[in-house]
């Protein structure tokens, strides 16, 4: 009898994909999907602030792409599955911001049953992650339910939360702190400045309240992290 396997799963959505298709060339869209299809494995030296993420074999990291949605999932009996998944999500967010016109990512992480055969993907974990992303994530952020972090026994997860890699927002979800990395790493200055300009330009022309809300969230967080970095450097 076929049964579900337990996974940690990230459901990631590219925001504004209809506008991307409408306003960008076919070549630019192909470049986005080529980057999405490039599968990365987190290495121990890939993150700053003293955080070390162990390496797990690439064959244990699964990807599934559905148009503008991407699933990354790892069996929960693989050691360090959740911290590696979090690291991959951070890397994905930063990679999408490196385009000349940044691509914003919203998502959610879940733990539960999945069926996957590389061609078909379904299960309670996918439904949960999709619904949370669709109804609760709201902003360009990847949210993680509090219990997934609080109940996790691996010390590295609590190091994430204590170091600022993860932080809790007012609605009770942990969030991957990708904007802190964008603003805090010298080699990402171009991407940071490009994103700040993109946010300013968008707020000048957009009148849809739901879209403005997303960009105001970005602007507020970018200003916070920029001010924090300036304070550290003075």
Look over the chain and give the mean of its residue pLDDT values, rounded to a whole number. 87
114 compared with 38, residue with greater pLDDT: 114
- Report the candidate in 83, 153, 143 with the shortest Cα–Cα distance to residue 107: 143
Confidence check: pLDDT of 229 > 80 = no
The pLDDT, as a whole number, for residue 45 is 43
**In three state form, how does the secondary structure of 106-133 look?**
EEEEEEEEEEECCCCEECHHHHHHHHHH
47 compared with 65, residue with greater pLDDT: 65
Confidence check: pLDDT of 170 > 90 = yes
154 compared with 216, residue with greater pLDDT: 216
Confidence check: pLDDT of 59 > 80 = yes
- Exposed / middle / buried, residue 40 (Cβ in 10 Å: 0-12, 13-18, 19+): middle
pTM reported for the whole predicted model: 0.89
- Reported confidence tier of residue 124, pLDDT bands at 50, 70, 90: very high
Confidence check: pLDDT of 51 > 90 = no
- Reported confidence tier of residue 156, pLDDT bands at 50, 70, 90: confident
Beta-carbon contacts of residue 74 (< 8 Å; ≥ 6 apart) = 7, 8, 56, 60, 61, 62, 81, 82, 84, 85
Over residues 61-73, mean pLDDT: 89
Over residues 16-42, mean pLDDT: 77
56 compared with 219, residue with greater pLDDT: 219
For the chain, the straight-line distance linking the first and the last C-alpha, in angstroms and rounded, comes to 64
Beta-carbon contacts of residue 195 (< 8 Å; ≥ 6 apart) = 97, 102, 182, 218, 222
Flag the least confident range among 18-22, 177-181, 192-196. 18-22
- Reported confidence tier of residue 186, pLDDT bands at 50, 70, 90: confident
**Please, what are the domains in the chain?**
5-177 (3.30.70.1230)
């Amino acid at each position: 009898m076929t049964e579900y396997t337990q996974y940690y799963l990230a459901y990631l959505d590219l925001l504004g994909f209809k506008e991307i298709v409408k306003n960008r060339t076919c070549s630019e869209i192909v470049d986005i999907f080529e980057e999405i299809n490039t599968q990365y494995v987190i290495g121990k030296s890939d993150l700053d602030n003293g955080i070390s993420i162990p390496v797990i074999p690439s064959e244990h990291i699964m990807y599934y792409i559905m148009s503008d949605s991407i699933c990354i999932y790892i069996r929960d009996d693989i050691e360090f599955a959740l911290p590696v998944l979090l690291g991959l999500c951070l890397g994905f967010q930063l990679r999408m911001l490196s385009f000349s016109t940044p691509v914003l990512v919203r998502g959610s992480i879940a733990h539960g049953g999945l069926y996957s055969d590389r061609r078909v993907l379904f299960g309670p974990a996918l439904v949960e992650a999709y619904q949370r992303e669709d109804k609760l994530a709201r902003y360009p952020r990847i949210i993680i339910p509090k219990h997934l972090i609080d109940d996790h026994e691996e010390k590295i997860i609590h190091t994430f939360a204590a170091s600022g890699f993860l932080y809790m927002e007012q609605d009770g979800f942990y969030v991957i702190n990708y904007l802190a990395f964008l603003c805090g790493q010298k080699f990402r200055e171009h991407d940071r400045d490009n994103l700040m300009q993109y946010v300013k330009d968008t707020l000048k022309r957009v009148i849809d309240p739901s879209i403005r809300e997303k960009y105001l969230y970005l602007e507020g967080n970018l200003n916070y992290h920029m001010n924090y970095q300036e304070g550290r450097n003075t």
